[in-house]
Structures are given as C-alpha cells and as structure tokens.
C-alpha cells in the first residue's frame, strides 16, 4: 500500500503527518492518546488544567500500552491578579440563576490558584521526556525551548497570525501550529486582539507557510482526509484534528458532547469568553447565547473557568447540553462515530484517495 509521508513525520517520529489535537478538561484520556499514537498519529495530552502528579500517571498509563511518540500540551498564561470583590460579586450574580436551575449550591467567590503552576508542569514534562511538547496561548522563553531541545524534546507553538508564527520561529521552536479561526476550543492568539486574529485556516496556513522556514501544522476545520490533503496542498507538513477525535469511544468527553457533535448538520459554533475568560469556540448553547446577549460580566482567564466549572460538570453529568462547554470546530457536522484507531486509519485512507483523485485532474 502507498504511504503518506512528509518531513514532519521524521521530525515527530510518527508514521503519519497527523496530530490528534490536545484537548484539556478530560477529553484526552490515556486511552485516546495511546490509540491515536499506536495508530500512527501523534497522540496529545491537553494538560492545561492537569497537576504534575496526574500528568505522570496519565503518561505512565500510555507508556504501558505503546512506546509510540506522544505530545504534552500546556497553556501559557499568567494567573489573574487578585480579583476585586465587586468583580467577584458581578460574575457570581451573572451565573447564580444557572446554579439554582441545576440544583447546585449558590456559587461562592473563587480563589487562586485557578490553574496548575506552569513551571511545575514543565519541570515534570522534562522528567517525563515526551517526544513532543506544544504550547498554546503564548510563548516560552528561548532558553526553556533550548533546554527542551537538549533533552531531545521537539517543541511546537500555536500561532493565529504571521507575527506570532515568526516570533515562535525566532524563539527556536521546531514547528508551528497554524490555528485557523475554524478551530474549536481556545483561540491561541497572544500578540493581537483575538477578535482581529480570526483568519480562516485556508488563508492563515498559506500566509504562515510563506512567512516561516520551519514546518507548519494546520489546525481548524479539518475532519477528514480531504481536509488533510487540502492543508498539505497549502504547504503545511501536517494536520492537527481535535473535534474529529471527540466522539471517539476513547475520548473522555461527556456523552452529550459527543451526541451533539454527531447530530450537527450546520456550523452552529460561536466564540465565547463566558466559560473561561478567554475566547474559545464551541457549539452554541443556552449558556453561551444568554451570557453573550446580555453581555454578562465575567472573571479573567482562567478564574472564570473555576466559576463555571460546577455548571459544566453538572450539565455534562445530567446529559444536559445547556451549560456544558462543548468545544467544537466549524466543521463539526462532519463528525463520525469511530474509535480513534478506526479514525486514524480512515484519515490515512481518505488522504491517499484524495491525492489519487487530485492526480487524475491532470490530464
């Protein structure tokens, strides 16, 4: 059988130029990462909210199943400065009715820390020595990137515009993830106003490929082999798919999240800050629409995530889509109910078929 290969495969040590996107909040279970990596893609943990000890346990669980390369992903963000009591009150009042509707005790002021300490996470990552480490929402110091390289860890960072990609290249990362605005989850923008860096995957991938010398991995709206072939045509050396993996049996997403993706027939996603404090794309639901339309007050990232956490958890547990953050890219209607193993095999087959179909257009 024909093989699909780009230089990125050699860099990452994978059979395929496909990355199962890191997705934080319990979606990227060890079972999902192990299945994606075993099948030839790069399985990735979304460790944004994961403490070092849990990181270690999760990676050990994968290592028991496969020695294929894996990726650990982190959010680069500062903890918000102390939150004024009036801000707490306003943000609590904005969601108190939802707490009540779900039968939860009234929300209390949130307290730092709102997320694990990045340096502790990175130190643990250096001990774990994954083959690949990627980061999102910012940059890492050049000496940290050099240190990771010394340990044999390849690094990649997310860019949503040309300037961010060039900055990451100058810092010494091995590859860029060009995150088009179709992408589900958090916008990785860190240098511009995120609403002014909403460039579509097709345009952004080509702009970044033309602007940097290191390999580019495209992300956003890619759900099948046609999408993978499309970004390879744009000059990307690989594709990163998140939403496509959410419905997989191995993913830890709540059932209602999976079912909502599988039922989608139209792009009904929207970008909201109301779940975490930073803009992120997901399937529009009652919480997003209502909080947006009344321009409800919110806490800074990631404190708002602490405040919305009980709502999301209760909503997911109850199979209620109204208050869950159902992160999704704009091509969500192309979601399929496959295992991660089947999905990766299908993506490979479809990509090769697309390349054959394209070759036939030359005559």
Chain residues in the site for a copy of itself (CB under 8 A): 2-6, 161-163, 180-182, 196-197, 199-204, 206-207, 209-210, 220-224, 226-227, 229-235, 265-268, 270, 329-331, 333-334, 352, 354-356, 358-359, 361-363
The β-bridge relationship of strands 216-219 and 238-241 is parallel
Q: For residues 206 and 312, which CB has a smaller minimum distance to a copy of itself in the complex?
A: 206
Contacts of 42 (CB under 8 A, 6+ apart): 12, 14, 18, 19, 20, 36, 69, 70, 71, 131, 132
CB atoms within 10 A of CB 336: 14
Record the tokens describing residue 78, joined without a space: 């500062």
- Quote the CA–CA distance of 217 and 231 in Å, as a whole number: 8
Q: Which residues pair with 306 in a beta bridge?
A: none
Give least dist CB 56 to a copy of itself, A: 37
Contacts of 190 (CB under 8 A, 6+ apart): 76, 137, 138, 139, 164
Q: For residues 173 and 198, which CB has a smaller minimum distance to a copy of itself in the complex?
A: 198
Q: For residues 46 and 180, which CB has a smaller minimum distance to a copy of itself in the complex?
A: 180
The β-bridge relationship of strands 185-186 and 269-272 is unpaired
DSSP state of 327: B
- DSSP H helices in 129-216: 142-150, 162-171, 201-211
DSSP state of 285: -
- Quote the CA–CA distance of 353 and 363 in Å, as a whole number: 18
CB atoms within 10 A of CB 16: 25
Give least dist CB 301 to a copy of itself, A: 23
Q: For residues 62 and 231, which CB has a smaller minimum distance to a copy of itself in the complex?
A: 231
Q: For residues 48 and 223, which CB has a smaller minimum distance to a copy of itself in the complex?
A: 223
Give least dist CB 299 to a copy of itself, A: 25
- DSSP H helices in 172-285: 201-211, 225-233, 255-263
Give least dist CB 194 to a copy of itself, A: 13
Q: For residues 125 and 326, which CB has a smaller minimum distance to a copy of itself in the complex?
A: 326
Give yes or no for a contact between 167 and 210, defined as CB atoms under 8 angstroms apart.
no
Q: For residues 18 and 314, which CB has a smaller minimum distance to a copy of itself in the complex?
A: 18
Give least dist CB 27 to a copy of itself, A: 20
Give least dist CB 266 to a copy of itself, A: 5
- Quote the CA–CA distance of 243 and 20 in Å, as a whole number: 9
Q: For residues 224 and 250, which CB has a smaller minimum distance to a copy of itself in the complex?
A: 224
Give least dist CB 165 to a copy of itself, A: 10
- Quote the CA–CA distance of 162 and 204 in Å, as a whole number: 8
Q: For residues 124 and 271, which CB has a smaller minimum distance to a copy of itself in the complex?
A: 271
Give least dist CB 207 to a copy of itself, A: 6
Give least dist CB 136 to a copy of itself, A: 19
């Amino acid at each position: 059988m024909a093989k699909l290969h780009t230089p990125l495969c050699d860099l990452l040590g994978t059979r395929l130029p496909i990355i199962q996107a890191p997705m934080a909040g319990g979606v990227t279970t060890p079972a999902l990462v192990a299945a994606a990596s075993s099948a030839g893609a790069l399985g990735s943990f979304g460790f944004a909210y994961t403490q070092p000890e849990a990181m270690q346990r999760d990676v050990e669980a994968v290592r028991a199943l496969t020695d294929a390369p894996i990726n650990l992903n982190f959010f680069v963000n500062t903890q918000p400065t102390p939150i004024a009591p009036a801000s707490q009150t306003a943000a609590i009042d904005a969601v108190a009715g939802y707490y009540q509707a779900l039968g939860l005790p009234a929300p209390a002021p949130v307290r730092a820390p709102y997320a694990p300490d990045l340096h502790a996470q990175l130190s643990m990552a250096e001990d774990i020595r994954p083959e690949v480490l990627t980061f999102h929402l910012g940059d890492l110091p050049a000496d940290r990137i050099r240190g990771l390289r010394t340990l044999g860890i390849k690094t990649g960072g997310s860019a949503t515009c040309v300037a961010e990609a060039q900055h990451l290249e100058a810092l010494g990362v091995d590859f860029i993830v060009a995150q088009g605005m179709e992408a589900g989850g958090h916008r990785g923008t860190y240098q511009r106003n995120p609403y002014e860096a909403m460039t579509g995957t097709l345009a952004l991938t080509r702009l970044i490929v033309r602007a940097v010398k290191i390999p580019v991995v495209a992300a956003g709206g890619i759900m099948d082999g046609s999408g993978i072939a499309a970004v390879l045509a744009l000059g990307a050396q690989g594709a990163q798919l998140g939403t496509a993996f959410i419905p997989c049996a191995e993913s830890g997403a709540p059932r209602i999240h999976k079912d909502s993706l599988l039922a989608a027939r139209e792009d009904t996603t929207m970008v909201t800050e109301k779940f975490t404090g930073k803009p992120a794309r997901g399937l529009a639901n009652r919480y997003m629409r209502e909080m947006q339309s009344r321009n409800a007050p919110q806490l800074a990232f990631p404190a708002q995530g602490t405040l919305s956490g009980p709502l999301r958890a209760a909503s997911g547990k109850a199979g209620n889509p109204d208050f869950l953050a159902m992160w999704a890219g704009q091509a969500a209607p192309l979601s399929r109910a496959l295992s991660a193993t089947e999905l990766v095999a299908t993506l490979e087959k479809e990509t090769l078929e697309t390349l054959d179909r394209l070759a036939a257009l030359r005559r």
